[in-house]
Amino acid sequence: MKLALGTVQLGIPYGIANEAGRPDDETALEILRAAREQDYTWLDTAAAYGESEAVLGRLMPQVWADAPPAVATKFVLDEARAPAAQLDEALGRLGLPFVDALLLHREDDLDHPRVAEFAALGTAGRTRRTGVSCYDPKRALQGLEAGFGCVQVPCNLFDTHSVDAGVFKRAAECGALVFVRSIFLQGLFFLSPDHPRAQHIPGAVEALRFLRDFCHRHAITPAELAMAFGSWLGEEAVIVLGADTGAQVRENARLATSAAAQRGLIDRWLHERPSMPPDLIHPGRWPKG
């Protein structure tokens, strides 16, 4: 299973289970060193992730003496600025001559007047592949049909819309990558059904109770089942995993190592699970605070 370290946490406080806020540089270094030790193959960042790109640019040379892992970043197209200029700014913050993947951070930018300029960056030598980050699987398929070499989608035990729509199948046919975010549904899977935050999200209490009951019956933890799902997605999937500590990075790597042996449970999970309310699987719809 290919793993990417999600670095939004290095730039802004992120995740429903995160109570510590944004890590300081010492903790960020610990996280990055753990990613190096555990052979994470990608770093995932974006211009919208606060200081994330700048933190990576400042700290990567202290962690990787030669070359860092592959880097994926994203930005929103701007009618007033050329995509090439936006990429220059991102590369400046990252301290890199190129990135391995450059994605539109907003799926509606597939219709932007500058999208052709963005796509052309894939042949300009400063990114190895262009792509788009989506919520709607139809938009991800649109990006693949347009020739993009990668897409990013949310996908997890509760939300399989991208699987059902054929995104992973089409990516495999195209030789494209699918970056999978929200494999733990932004940390929701780690909360007890009785947790106050879970009780304020429509459908979360019932879904978490079912998840815990299923895991109890099969002697597996929610985290192990979620990672088994990531393994089940296939070779084209790159699982994006954020972390607040180096210990979390190492634990996620441990889960990934054992995931293949447990993915036989996923077909049973998909057969037994209840339907999931749309407001549950879209964190943007969760109540604030």
Long-range contact set of residues 270-278: C-beta below 8 Å, sequence gap at least 24: 270/160, 272/214, 273/157, 273/158, 273/210, 273/214, 274/206, 274/207, 274/210, 276/158, 276/159, 276/203, 276/207, 277/202, 277/203
Tell me, what's the pLDDT at 26?
A: 96
Place of tokens 């290095």: 10
Using the Cα atoms of residue 233, residue 122, residue 109 and residue 48 in order, give the sign of their dihedral: positive
State the Cα–Cα distance between residues 139 and 95, nearest whole angstrom.
31
Give the pLDDT of residue 37.
97
User: What pLDDT is stored for residue 15 in this prediction?
Assistant: 52
pLDDT of residue 79: 94
Angstrom distance (rounded) from CA 31 to CA 7: 9
List, run by run, the mean pLDDT of 10-residue segments along the chain (289 residues): 96 63 90 97 98 97 91 98 98 97 99 97 93 99 98 99 98 98 96 95 97 98 98 98 96 96 96 96 89
Structural domains of the chain, with CATH: 2-191+223-261 (3.20.20.100)
Confidence at residue 17, expressed as pLDDT on a 0 to 100 scale = 52
Predicted local distance difference test score (pLDDT) of residue 68: 83
What is the per-residue pLDDT for 124? 85
The confidence score (pLDDT) of residue 14 equals: 60
For residue 173, the model assigns a pLDDT of 98
Give the CA radius of gyration of the chain. Answer: 18
The Cα 230–Cα 263 span in angstroms is 8
Q: What is the pLDDT of residue 112?
A: 98
